[in-house]
Every structure is written in structure tokens, then in C-alpha cells.
């Protein structure tokens, strides 16, 4: 279990400390940048979306198309959420706004790093993270403590070779 968590932590919590490895020559070149977003007409959105975004109505046409698309997509996502999901999203947004700008930037970078992983690796990270979330709080605290005590090199080795992580000794009952 520590292996899975450390892999997740290595990718999600310490991504900025892990060196980027250039793609091997046999790997395909990265895809070209996506085409710029087309402007989103205010009138093309549902009345519910317009109500959510009413603060942007007067300046909608002056927003960059990618911002318009992001706002429209976000409003649609919000409308599809359950009340519990909306409550959780509001709490996360409040936490986000309370973070120092440096921490937000670090999280943005880690997210981009995660999104650049192959889908199979992203899935493994998600599964490991879900296993971590299901652990008892004391165990999660202990794993975080162990991670913080590792040097960047130790963390890098754990991320690259999670099968080599020693398992903690269990006390016999």
C-alpha cells in the first residue's frame, strides 16, 4: 500500500521535484497545439447558463474565445452537479482562493504534469490516490511524514521504482 501511495504522492505532490525526461527517439512527437477556440455567442447558452454567468454578460464579447469556452463549459458542468457536489466544489474553491499565489501556481504545474502522463499512468495514479484516501487517517499521516523526510533523490527513486520501496514492519497482535 505504501508503494501505491508513494507513487501517487511522487506524481501528484512532488511532481515539481522530479526531473522531466525527454521522450525517447522512438516515441512520436507531441501533437501540435490545439486550434484557437471559436468565440461562444452569449445567445447560444441556455437561460440557466446565462443566469450563472450574468456578471459576464456586459463584457462577454470582449473576453478571449478560450475564456468564453471555459466559462460556458464550467457553467454547464455546475448545472449538472448534485447539491452535494456543488457544496464540495464551493468548499474547494474557497480553499483555492485562500492559498498563496505560489501554492496555486505549483498546483497548476503539477496538474499539467499529471495531464501530460499517458492515460494508463493517469489511471494508476488515480487508483493509488483512491487507495490512499481510504486508508485510516493515522496511516495517511505516517506516509506523509515518511515522504517529507525523503530527499529529492529518494523520492525520485520511489516514483521511478515503486516496487523497491520497503514495506513498513507490522507489529504482531
Q: Per the domain annotation, does 141 fall within a domain?
A: yes
* Band of residue 170 on the pLDDT scale cut at 50, 70, 90: low
* Domain of 131, in residue numbers: 1-11+119-167
Q: How many domains, in total, are found in the chain?
A: 1
Q: Per the domain annotation, does 87 fall within a domain?
A: no
Q: Per the domain annotation, does 69 fall within a domain?
A: no
SS3 state of residue 122 = helix
The per-residue pLDDT for 103 is: 96
Q: Per the domain annotation, does 40 fall within a domain?
A: no
Q: Per the domain annotation, does 5 fall within a domain?
A: yes
Average pLDDT over residues 66-93: 95
Q: Per the domain annotation, does 19 fall within a domain?
A: no
SS3 state of residue 118 = coil
The per-residue pLDDT for 26 is: 42
Count of residues in the chain = 173
Q: pTM for the whole thing?
A: 0.53
Q: Per the domain annotation, does 78 fall within a domain?
A: no
Q: Per the domain annotation, does 131 fall within a domain?
A: yes
Instruction: Locate all alpha helices (DSSP H) within 15-136, ordered by sequence.
Output: 47-52, 65-80, 83-98, 101-115, 119-133
- Residue 62 DSSP one-character state: G
* pLDDT higher than threshold 80 for residue 163: no
* pLDDT higher than threshold 70 for residue 100: yes
pLDDT tens-digit profile of 4-24? 333 344 444 333 333 333 333
pLDDT tens-digit profile of 11-63? 443 333 333 333 333 444 455 556 677 888 999 999 999 999 999 999 999 99
The per-residue pLDDT for 172 is: 53
The per-residue pLDDT for 23 is: 36
* Band of residue 108 on the pLDDT scale cut at 50, 70, 90: very high
pLDDT tens-digit profile of 124-158? 889 988 999 999 999 999 989 999 999 989 888 88
Amino acid at each position: 500500500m505504501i508503494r501505491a501511495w508513494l507513487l501517487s504522492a511522487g506524481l501528484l505532490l512532488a511532481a515539481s521535484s522530479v526531473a522531466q525526461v525527454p521522450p525517447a527517439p522512438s516515441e512520436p512527437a507531441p501533437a501540435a497545439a490545439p486550434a484557437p477556440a471559436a468565440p461562444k455567442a452569449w445567445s447560444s447558452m441556455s437561460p440557466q447558463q446565462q443566469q450563472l454567468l450574468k456578471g459576464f454578460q456586459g463584457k462577454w464579447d470582449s473576453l478571449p474565445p478560450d475564456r468564453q469556452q471555459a466559462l460556458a463549459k464550467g457553467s454547464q458542468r455546475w448545472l449538472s452537479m448534485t447539491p452535494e457536489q456543488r457544496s464540495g466544489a464551493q468548499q474547494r474553491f474557497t480553499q483555492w482562493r485562500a492559498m498563496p499565489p505560489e501554492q496555486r501556481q505549483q498546483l497548476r504545474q503539477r496538474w499539467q504534469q499529471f495531464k501530460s502522463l499517458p492515460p494508463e499512468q493517469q489511471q494508476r495514479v488515480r487508483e493509488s490516490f483512491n487507495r490512499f484516501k481510504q486508508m485510516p487517517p493515522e496511516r495517511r499521516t505516517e506516509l506523509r511524514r515518511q515522504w517529507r523526510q525523503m530527499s529529492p533523490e529518494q523520492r525520485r527513486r520511489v516514483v521511478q521504482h515503486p516496487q523497491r520501496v520497503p514495506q513498513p514492519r507490522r507489529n504482531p497482535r
